């Protein structure tokens, strides 16, 4: 299971239930990466999708503590329930928002990041990976400029397994 997130320079990811700056090139990449895969999304982020509906051509799992049904999606009420649902799925992406990242990133192997060089006001944030021993920086793209004029860059972080690194010593 991997996570995909777009964050700004202040680790912000959202404001008032939506993303304050969206880069079309990043949206396209997100669609291509997640096409045909299972995506795990929080109930609040689902509300921000077009018409508040699950994403097409993907298996959507929506996290909520409420006893509700969501057309076109499977509902999961806890981390344990999600992990059970995805254990045999080949491609699974955690796609936010803040609370779902907090709950599930510890179970992810990789985090695919789009860093957008802007500092819009945010009320939802991603964890600062550089302060966490559990994650190591794996790769970065060059800095690009989007059609909207924003500079952005792709990063990959990988879970840090201390045993693998001891073997290398």
Ligand X SMILES: NC(=O)c1ccc[n+]([C@@H]2O[C@H](COP(=O)([O-])OP(=O)(O)OC[C@H]3O[C@@H](n4cnc5c(N)ncnc54)[C@H](OP(=O)(O)O)[C@@H]3O)[C@@H](O)[C@H]2O)c1
| Candidate segments 31-39, 77-85, 128-136, 143-151, binder of ligand X by CB under 6 A | 77-85
Q: How far is CA 79 from the centre of its chain?
A: 15
Per-residue binding letters, 95-134, with ligand X (x by CB under 6 A):
xxxxxx--x--------------------x----------
Residue of 13, 39, 86, 94 interacting with ligand X (CB under 6 A): 13
Residue of 10, 17, 35, 128 interacting with ligand X (CB under 6 A): 17
**Are 21 and 140 spatial neighbours (Cβ–Cβ below 8 Å)?**
no
The two three-digit tokens of residue 131, written as one number:
């302060």
59 vs 96, beta carbon nearer ligand X: 96
As to burial, measured by CB atoms within 10 angstroms (0-12 exposed, 13-18 middle, 19+ buried), residue 91 is middle
Residue of 11, 29, 48, 159 interacting with ligand X (CB under 6 A): 48
In Å, how far are 71, 135, 136, 137 from 131, measured between CA atoms? 39, 9, 10, 11
Tell me: does residue 33 bind ligand X (CB under 6 A). Answer: no
Closest to 41 measured CA to CA, from 13, 74, 16: 74
Task: State the residues that interact with ligand X by CB under 6 A.
Answer: 5-7, 13-15, 17-19, 42-45, 48, 63-66, 77-79, 95-100, 103, 124
């Amino acid at each position: 299971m991997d996570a995909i997130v777009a964050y700004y320079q202040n680790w912000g990811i959202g404001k008032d239930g939506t993303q304050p700056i969206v880069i079309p090139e990043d949206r396209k990449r997100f669609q291509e990466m997640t096409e045909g895969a299972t995506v795990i999304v929080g109930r609040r982020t689902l509300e921000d999708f077009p018409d508040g509906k699950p994403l097409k051509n993907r298996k959507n799992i929506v996290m909520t503590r409420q006893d509700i049904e969501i057309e076109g999606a499977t509902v999961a009420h806890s981390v344990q329930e999600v992990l059970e649902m995805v254990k045999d799925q080949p491609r699974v992406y955690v796609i936010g928002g803040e609370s779902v990242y907090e709950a599930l990133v510890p179970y992810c192997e990789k985090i695919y990041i789009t860093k957008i060089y802007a500092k819009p006001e945010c009320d939802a944030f991603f964890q600062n990976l550089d302060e966490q021993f559990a994650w190591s920086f794996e790769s970065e793209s060059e800095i690009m400029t989007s059609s909207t004029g924003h500079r952005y860059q792709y990063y990959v972080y990988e879970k840090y397994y201390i045993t693998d690194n001891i073997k290398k010593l």
